[in-house]
Every structure is written in C-alpha cells, then in structure tokens.
Amino acid sequence: MRLLFALAALLLALPVSARKAQEPTLPQMNLARNWLELLDANRFEQAWTEAAQGLRSGTDLARWTQSVRNARHSVAAVTCRHGLAFERLDNPPRIAVLFVTEFADGHRIGEKVTLPAEATQAADVTAYRAGPPASGHGDPCNSGHTATTEGTP
C-alpha cells in the first residue's frame, strides 16, 4: 500500500511535460474527432452536409466554410490533436468535447464540438467552436501524441 502511495506521489511530482497525457474516453469523442478530420482534409462541404440541421441553420455553406477557416487560422496539416475533456450539458442533453489541435506551422487552437448525449454518428454534430487553446492542460501535443488524421493536406 505504501508503495502505491509513493508511486502516486512520484507521478504527481513529475513535470506535466514528463507525464504522458491521457485522453478522457467517451464514444462521442471519436465521433467529434472523425468530424474534425473532415475539416482537416478541407472537406468542408461534407462536414456541413454531415452536421445536424442546428449547425447549418442561420447561415450557408460558403459563409460557414469561411468562418471555420478564419477561426482555425491555419491551412497547414494537423500534426497533433488531443482530446482534453468533455462536458455533459442539459436541456437538451448533449456532450461538448474539447480538443487541442496543433498544425504543422506551429499554430495551436482549442476546438469544441457539441453532439447530442446519445449521438451515434458524426452527422449528429450540433455546434463547432474554435479559439485559443484551453490553459491548464499542460502541453499534450508535446507528450508523444500525434494526430489520428493521416495524409491530410
């Protein structure tokens, strides 16, 4: 038992960069990641078509595409995407998934994808936001994680 506590204390004492960042797991995280990979591949029309009607309401494909490009601030290939957290929201029940994404040009953003709590496909994405990466999560893109997207432009 003492050994277990000593090991836990040692792990907590390691600098964040020395610890391998663990992603939280939830099926919706994979759905959100798959949808983000469409954006990574510049397949905006497919991402738009596969998103829920709520995401598409109030704008058109051209404006939405430009808005996403502007929010991401980079057209370089994604070199790292790490799931940081998820949040359960009410009324209606949904899951907001937060990622940090790093591009080959060094630009880093935070991405938030929202899906219904019972989502079973990426087409259930109801909201997308991009902005500065969340602080307080260490540096998950420098701890051995790479993007799951291969061959993105």
- Which residue has tokens 């596969």? 50
Lowest-pLDDT range of 49-58, 129-138, 144-153: 144-153
Q: What is the dihedral of CA 51, 70, 150, 82, to 10 degrees?
A: -80
Q: How confident is the model at residue 138 (pLDDT cuts 50, 70, 90)?
A: low
For 10-66, the pLDDT digits (tens) are: 333 334 433 344 445 677 888 999 999 999 999 999 999 989 898 999 899 999 999
The rounded radius of gyration (Å) of the Cα atoms in the chain is 17
Lowest-pLDDT range of 2-11, 37-46, 120-129: 2-11
Domains and CATH numbers, the chain: 23-142 (3.10.450)
Residue 52 burial by Cβ neighbours in a 10 Å radius (0-12, 13-18, 19+): middle
| Distance set, CA 114 to CA 5, 69, 87 (Å) | 37, 18, 9
